[in-house]
Amino acid sequence: MKITVTRKEHFNAAHRLHNPSWSDEMNARVFGKCNNPNYHGHNYELLVKLTGEVSPETGYVYDMKLLSDLIKENISDRFDHKNLNLDTEEFKELNPTAENIAVVIYDILREKIDAQYELKVILYETERNYVEYPA
């Protein structure tokens, strides 16, 4: 049977939810306070889950130190203390909802992690709102 290992990291960022093809009224109605043109922000908590076989040599599915470094280099360093809409390539054209951020993080990590591992990303936008990808 396979095992899932999880590593938790975090980053703090500003963002604004906005659909440029909509009117200001429509944006305000759909996104409410999250549409503030001057941005607001969150402490994002990120959990990265890998599923695979336990190596009989190490007793590890994946070295958690390596996974932590991989997340820091590819995700935290990219997004921490950034304005997601203005400072990142990924969200120049893509609305930085928690859902879209999770998919972007998944796509970045999927390329860095060997295909033998199943990958899942959980992103907390607040203590009371979080998303999981894939479901």
Active-site residue list: 34, 81, 125
Residue numbers at the binding site for a second copy (CB under 8 A):
1-10, 12-15, 17, 19, 30-34, 36, 38-43, 51, 54, 57-61, 63-65, 68, 80-83, 86-87, 94-100, 102-103, 118, 126-135
Instruction: Kindly state the tokens that stand for 97.
Output: 């909802």
Q: Measured at the alpha carbon of residue 36, what is the angle toward residues 97 and 80, in degrees to the nearest 5?
A: 50
Q: CB of 27: closest distance to a second copy in angstroms?
A: 10
Percent helix, strand and coil across the chain, each to the nearest 5: 35, 30, 35
Pick the closer one to a second copy by CB: 60 or 108.
60
Pick the closer one to a second copy by CB: 3 or 112.
3
The β-bridge partners of 67 are none
